[in-house]
Structure 1
Amino acid sequence: MLYNIDTMYNDIQGKLVCDLGCGCGVLSVGTAMLDASLIVGIDIDDDALMIARRNIEEFELENVQLIKANISDTEFFGGKIFDTVIMNPPFGTKDKGIDMIFLHRALKLASTSVYSLHKSSTRQHIKKKAAEWGAEMTVLAELRFNLENTYKFHKHKSVDIAVDFMKFDCSSTTI
């Protein structure tokens, strides 16, 4: 995924990249290894950020910074300060609409492109909202995720979910 973002769209190497909802930092580490000039990983979860910090230290990466923040904090997030935003946001199954909050924030932060993973079942809704916000959405790949039961609210041992890998062109966003 990251390799394609870099080689097909030139949106990583030498770029200022935000990993929104970075979790344990997998996308941040991969982006750093593809020579982004700086990656800023943002998450609200202290435990996830601690793991991300360890991962960054293990690979001896100096071009990754981590910030604890809530994406809803409008004072912290202002303007198109990143070239590219990458994210694997919550799908909005438990917290309805959280995926769209992430996307809206990402489109406000990116000057060039946003790359994101979303449930395929939400494709038309996301395309419509992106168009309303002045962004053009393209599905780059259709994937399958097998999500294991990891949280108390999960009802099944595992669930197979159809997921779209999407690119949003931010050059004409109106938000």
Structure 2
Amino acid sequence: MKLKQLESLLGDVQQFSDPKVRWVAFPSISLVAASASSTDALVSLWQAENTFEDVAGKVVADFGCGCGTLGIASALLGAEHTFGIDIDSESLEVASVNAEDMEIGGRKTCHTVFLVLVMHNNLMFIVYQVATQAVYSLHKTSTREHVKRTALQSFRARSAEVLCELRFDVPQMYKFHKKKEVDVAVDLWRFVPSRE
């Protein structure tokens, strides 16, 4: 699938209508994935398939999937199974509707499932334990050295690489937000788990 076609298909994916401060729900992944001005994450997902062959025919789990944009993109790129996992059941309902609207769930080669995530302090540890090929993760650029050190030392990743730095605007969404809009720098990482 060509990148422009993927971008066009995701243009109609419904996003958060009422983000929850309790879960610190931001449409950041959606903004990065679907926004015309912030397509770097979508490009990187597309490159994950076209450069590393990390999507088609694989099992993809999107932890903190929100409304399912990246999980749906993974399914469109040929993932054999896509799991969207989130703590917010209302977001999961939107994600399920999005998958139905995109006719993802009916594909014979792709089963898309959206699951409720029980928050756990060692979530990244769990992700590394189940991943066999690669883990993609978004982290604030200001934490780059800490993320790399933690991945290599604590999780014993074989490699930790920033694929791209994304910049996007987070709009004022909650009462505690002081500014109308904040520009946030985020790194998209690719970690390769060790198989020791």
Normalising TM by the smaller chain, what interval?
0.7 to 0.9
Q: How many residues of Structure 1 are paired with residues of Structure 2 in the alignment? A: 146
Please say if 1:147 is aligned against 2:173.
no
Which runs of 5 or more structure 2 residues have no equivalent in the other structure?
1-43, 106-110
Change beyond 3 A, Cα 1:56–1:134: same
Q: TM-score, normalised by structure 1?
A: 0.78
In percent, how many aligned pairs have the same letter?
Answer: 40
Q: TM-score, normalised by structure 2?
A: 0.70
Question: Match for residue 78 of structure 2?
Answer: 35
Q: Distance in 1 between matches of 2:52 and 2:189?
A: 13
Tell me which protein shows more helix as a share of its residues. 2
Q: After TM superposition, give the deviation of residue 47 of structure 1 in Å.
A: 1.1
Superposed, 1:15-164 pairs within 5 Å as 15-62=58-105, 63-72=111-120, 101-132=122-153, 133-135=155-157, 136-164=159-187
Question: Match for residue 57 of structure 2?
Answer: 14
Q: Distance in 2 between matches of 1:122 and 1:149?
A: 23
Q: After TM superposition, give the deviation of residue 102 of structure 1 in Å.
A: 4.2
Tell me which protein shows more strand as a share of its residues. 1
Q: After TM superposition, give the deviation of residue 162 of structure 1 in Å.
A: 1.2
Q: Distance in 1 between matches of 2:152 and 2:74?
A: 27
Q: After TM superposition, give the deviation of residue 153 of structure 1 in Å.
A: 3.0
Change beyond 3 A, Cα 1:7–1:71: farther
**Amino acid corresponding to residue 72 of structure 2 in structure 1:** V
Q: After TM superposition, give the deviation of residue 157 of structure 1 in Å.
A: 1.1
Q: After TM superposition, give the deviation of residue 161 of structure 1 in Å.
A: 1.1
Kindly report the root-mean-square deviation, in angstroms, between the aligned alpha carbons of the 2 structures: 1.5
